[in-house]
Amino acid sequence: MLGASSYNLISDGTGMSGISGGSQGNQVGTGGTPIDALLGTLGDHGGPVQTVSLRVDSPALDAGSDALALTRPGRSSSVVYDALGRVVGQVATDPDGIGSEEAPVTTYAFDANGNLLSETDPLGSVTAYVYDNLGRKTSETDAETGVTAYTYDSAGRMTSLTDPEENTTYWTFDPLGRVATETINVSSTDLTRTFSYDARGNLVRKVDRNGRVIDYAFDALSRQTSESWYDNLTDADAQQNVRKTYSTEYDPASRVAAVGDGDYDFEYTYSIFGNLTSTTQDLTGLTDDVVFKYTYDVLHRQTGVSAKIGSTDDYVNTCTYDNLGRVVQITQHGVSGGNAVAEKRIDFGYSDDSTRATISRLADLAGIEAVAVTESIFDELGRITDIVHERAASEFADYDLTWDAAGRIMDIDFDFLGSAYDDDASYTYDNTSQLTDADYTTQTDEDYDYDANGNRTLVDGTESYTTGDHNRLLSDGTYYYTYDNEGNRTGKYSDPSHTTPVEKYFWDHRNRLTKTELYVSGELDKTVEYAYDHNNRMYSRIVDAASDSRQIFVRDNDQIVLELADDNVAEVAGSDLTRRALWRPDTVDQLIAEEHIGDDTYWMLADHLGTVRDIVSYDSGTDTTTLEQHNEFTSFGVLLNTPTIVSFRQACMNRFEGFGIVGCRDDT
């Protein structure tokens, strides 16, 4: 028997009623307090009850229907109100139960008009707010006394924002209240973006700070049908010298049916219920189309996806849910007549409050060939305190984490391969929770100082950082940087006069990195070019265009699932498949396994942030799991070792340019 929430007239939870029965052991009826009829009929479809609670927690209410406490299995928190019903305090769960730690308390103060004047976190750090006579926030002061100021026009629209380092952004509006301009000042020069709209309020033109123009077209239903790029207003007004056009087509239900730019094209099909059933990708630089097909259960949850490269079937992924809608198993395998795909299976176990307790990795669908198990422990606040990656008696990695009352990690004890490697990291923060010190027992210690905006000013007491207008890093103590008017980094130089380049960067109208030039002793040594789809996902990288060394990244949704690569070719073919990946479908960026074609399948063991620190492989012949690689990072994610295995999680850590590309978009 499970519980279903019930509601009072103002949609607050008033209690829990038992639900049981159903041909598959699922909830189909109610007992006790009735469920609001507006929530609809309960059905038995082999999945969870379809009644949706508006609260994750079960609240206890006072006479005024204010929540006094929120509870869930193993956790509870309480809320304190003043006489006007305003929340003036929140007391979270005691993180260690009867232990020495106290329950974190956050308090709030209000003025006579109900405006929030201050927020005090569990460590006593205060954020304060000031308002004008109309109740508009005019300033915000953080716990390190940094002040952000706001101004408004007579219609209550924000016209300026000034950050703690006195950088101001200004906005103007058209007569209908839409943003017309946005202006910043860099090196005493005003830099402005402008926006234009049609009679229906659709944005039809955007001019950026570099003078580049993007025009948008819409059909009679206000659906965007095209996006066209021009280098200047003259070309845009004459509709000449267009640099790129994205075109979008729709089906009769107004769902996107096709989109492309002439170099690549995506096509989509849907079921009668609106579920995406297939995606066809025609990518520049890849001779074969890639087709993904999707299946769903009766609750419209995705249960399967298959991939096909040209005429050759590739992988099939399946996803299984329990009666609470939680993913309990994912698998990957091939099909007869298709590419050889190593079998992979991952089983997930949960604690009573649905936090992930175990992840079991298996190298066969039958569940016999055990690779590694991850066990996680959480405190009463739901914060992870222990992670162990192991196989039987062999421990690959162990993380013990300690938190403070503000939810910041204070200490991590790392153990790898049992006690073969042990490192303890202790962290110190300022009042705004910026990391100031990271002290390690084996790794090099780190020390950081910041300006009022949070830009680094000093690292490890020796590396002095210089930041210019609007938070643009001018020097890190070793290199010197230049930017375009949009704030994109255009150059990295070894001298302050910017005459000896180390790297140069080039950007498109969406401010996506399209080319990097790398220099040795001031001479061009290598170029790397990139191509993106309409969702800003990089799908192509070419190293040294003269030799056409090309990588193609194929994505299912936002994750890279296939890589194809070859040297000295204008296009790669389906037979050039180099890697395939298996990701957890219900979690952001959790790479489970990666198969290197013609080599091994590598299994990823992550830390509390999802960062892959350890990579293992499994040998079915000897039934052994081997730690292939251990990665070490600074507290800000700089990789300290030279990896021999570069996973898809690191594929966007540019191996040539040396910076990260989030989602394979530049993050310099």
- Percentage, residues of the chain above pLDDT 90: 75
Question: Rounded distance, CA 492 to CA 498, Å?
Answer: 8
- In DSSP terms, 603 is beta-bridged to 593, 616
CA distance 434 to 408: 10
pLDDT in the model for residue 535:
96
> Is the pLDDT reported for residue 641 higher than 50?
yes
| Confidence label for 513 from pLDDT (cuts 50, 70 and 90) | very high
Q: 441-458: per-residue pLDDT in tens?
A: 999 999 999 999 999 999
Would 192 be classed as within a structural domain?
no
Measured between alpha carbons, how far is 231 from 244 in angstroms, rounded to an integer?
Answer: 10
DSSP 8-state code for residue 380: T
Average the pLDDT over each of 89-98, 313-322, 605-614 and give the range with the smallest value: 89-98
Four-point Cα dihedral 232, 235, 238, 239, nearest 10: -110
State the average pLDDT over residues 549-554: 94
- The closest of 488, 464, 494 to 476, measured between CA atoms, is 464
> What CA–CA distance (Å, rounded) separates 606 from 527?
32
**Cα atoms in the Cβ-side hemisphere of radius 13 Å centred on 238:** 7
Total structural domains in the chain?
A: 1
Confidence of residue 75 (pLDDT cuts 50, 70, 90): low
Classify residue 361 as exposed, middle or buried by CB count within 10 Å of its CB (0-12, 13-18, 19+).
buried
pLDDT recorded at residue 553: 97
Give the lowest-confidence range in 66-70, 399-403, 462-466: 66-70
**Residue written as tokens 């070859």?**
566
By CB atoms closer than 10 A (0-12, 13-18, 19+), residue 141 is: middle
**Closest by Cα among 318, 261, 268, 321 to 292:** 268
Is the confidence at residue 483, as pLDDT, over 50?
Answer: yes
Tokens describing residue 232: 């200047």
Whether 159 maps to a domain, the answer reads no
Tell me whether residue 451 is in a domain.
no
d(CA 469, CA 235): 31
What is the overall mean pLDDT for the chain? 87
Query: Is the model's pLDDT at 477 over the cut of 90?
Result: yes
Q: What does the pLDDT look like over 15-27, one tens digit per residue?
A: 333 333 333 333 3
Q: What is the DSSP letter of 589?
A: T
pLDDT of 651 above 80: no
- When pLDDT is cut at 50, 70 and 90, the band that residue 544 belongs to is confident
Residue-wise pLDDT for 569-598, tens only, equals 788 999 999 999 999 988 888 999 999 999
Rounded to whole angstroms, the maximal C-alpha distance in the chain is 78
Predicted confidence (pLDDT) per residue in 226-249, tens digit: 999 999 999 999 999 999 999 999
Asked if the model's pLDDT at residue 10 lies above 50, the reply is no
Contacts of residue 154, Cβ cutoff 8 Å, sequence gap at least 6: none
**pLDDT score at 66:** 52
User: What separation in angstroms does the CA of 16 have from each of 3, 8, 68?
Assistant: 6, 12, 16
Query: Cα 142 to chain center, whole Å?
Result: 26
What residues contact residue 330 under an 8 Å CB cut-off, 6+ apart? Answer: 317, 318, 319, 320, 345, 346, 582, 584, 585, 592
Domain presence at residue 652: yes
pLDDT at 570: 82
Backbone angles phi, psi at 234, to 5 degrees: -60, -50
Residue 34 has pLDDT above 50, yes or no: no
> Where residue 568 falls among pLDDT bands split at 50, 70, 90?
confident
Does residue 492 contact residue 479 with C-beta atoms inside 8 Å?
yes
Predicted pLDDT at 47: 33
- pLDDT over threshold 50, residue 634: yes
| pLDDT of residue 71 exceeding 90 | no
Per the structure, the complete domain to which residue 586 belongs is given by 251-444+512-666
Segment among 296-300, 379-383, 486-490, 598-602 with least mean pLDDT: 379-383
Take residue 570 and report the two structure tokens written for it. Answer: 């204008």
Which two three-digit tokens encode residue 642? 């030279």
Question: What are residue 378's DSSP bridge partners?
Answer: 384
8-state DSSP, 470 = G
Give the end-to-end CA distance of the chain in Å, rounded to a whole number.
Answer: 52
Q: Is the pLDDT of residue 655 over 70?
A: no
Q: Is residue 163 part of a domain?
A: no
pLDDT band, very low/low/confident/very high, at 506 (cuts 50, 70, 90) = very high
461 pLDDT exceeds 90?
Answer: no
* C-beta neighbour count of 290 within 10 angstroms: 23
Quote the CA–CA distance of 489 and 660 in Å, as a whole number. Answer: 14
Q: How far is CA 609 from the centre of its chain?
A: 11
> Using CA atoms, how far apart are residues 394 and 377, in angstroms rounded to an integer?
19
pLDDT reading at 184 higher than 70:
yes
Model-level pTM?
0.85
Q: What local confidence, expressed as pLDDT, does residue 74 receive?
A: 53
Helix (H, G, I), strand (E, B) or coil at 364: coil
Give 371-423 pLDDT, tens digit per residue.
999 999 998 888 999 999 999 888 999 999 999 999 999 999 998 876 667 88
Does position 519 have pLDDT exceeding 50, yes or no?
yes
Q: Is the residue at 244 inside a domain?
A: no
CB-side exposure of 14: number of CA atoms within 13 Å? 14
What is the model's pLDDT at position 49? 30
* Any domain includes 148: no
Look at residue 244 in the predicted model and tell me its pLDDT: 98
% of the chain exceeding 70 in pLDDT: 84
Asked whether residue 269 carries a pLDDT value surpassing 70, the answer given is yes
Whether residue 504 is contained in a domain is answered as no
Q: Nearest Cα to 169, choosing from 143, 150, 141, 197? A: 150
Assess whether pLDDT exceeds 90 at residue 545. Answer: no
C-alpha to C-alpha distance for 421 and 395, rounded to whole angstroms: 12
pLDDT in tens, 487-497: 999 999 999 99
3-state secondary structure of 471: helix
Find the Cα–Cα–Cα–Cα dihedral 599, 605, 611, 614, rounded to 10°.
-70
pLDDT value of position 419: 62
Helix (H, G, I), strand (E, B) or coil at 484: coil
Tokens describing residue 49? 């009850």
CA–CA distances in Å: residue 655 to residues 384, 652, 658, 660 = 32, 8, 6, 9
